[in-house]
Amino acid sequence: MLNDHIHLSYEIVSEDFARAGEAASDVKRVLKKMNVKPDIVRKVAIALYEGEINMVIHSLGGTIDVYIMPNEIQMKLEDIGPGIEDIDKAMEEGYSTASETIRNMGFGAGMGLPNMKRYVDDLDIKSGLGQGTRITMRVIL
């Protein structure tokens, strides 16, 4: 990683709905303060928010690392499981394993991963059942 980058790091706790979204919110604040273009800030915020919410809902917890570099923003989301069995299926619009309780909170449309793909320039997902999920997203500045 380059020397002139900013690194932000967040711990994501499973099922901590009260704090879900705070990482994305903080990154948004930082980017705004750095005068990054509003449409870029919004793309990053939305993609990160979707990823963060997924970690809260579907994973056992993990970390988010954001690297702000001169030419791009990189987001690395890493959780400790239970993993995604079929990534292609998970990427389909409308596919969701969210429970009724989660749906009543306004999540579970099965649009999170498709939205992430929509808003970033590069999305890479590494996962498998019984493993953690590692997602890398890049937004070019």
Partner 1 sequence: MTIQDIKDYLEAELVYGEEFLSREVHNACGCDMMSDVLAFVKDQSVLITGLCNPHVIRTAEMMDIICVVFVRGKTPTEEMIEMAKEREIALLTSNHRMFTACGILYQKGLGGGDLC
Residues that bind Mg ion (CB under 5 A): 54, 112
What's the closest the beta carbon of residue 33 comes to ligand ATP, in angstroms? Answer: 28
Helix (H) or strand (E) holding 120: none
What's the closest the beta carbon of residue 122 comes to Mg ion, in angstroms? Answer: 19
Q: 79 touches which of ligand ATP, Mg ion, partner 1, none (CB within 5 to 8 A by kind)?
A: ligand ATP
Q: 90 touches which of ligand ATP, partner 1, Mg ion, none (CB within 5 to 8 A by kind)?
A: ligand ATP
* Matching residue, tokens 């705004």: 32
Question: Does 55 help bind ligand ATP (rule: CB under 6 A)?
Answer: yes
Q: Which of 15, 85, 92, 105 binds partner 1 (CB under 8 A)?
A: 105
Q: What is the DSSP string of 58-101?
A: HSS-EEEEEEE-SSEEEEEEEE-S---S-HHHHTSTT-----HH
Q: Give the residues across from 6 on adjacent strands.
A: 68
Q: 25 touches which of partner 1, Mg ion, ligand ATP, none (CB within 5 to 8 A by kind)?
A: partner 1
**C-alpha angle 89-136-18 in degrees, rounded to nearest 5:** 85
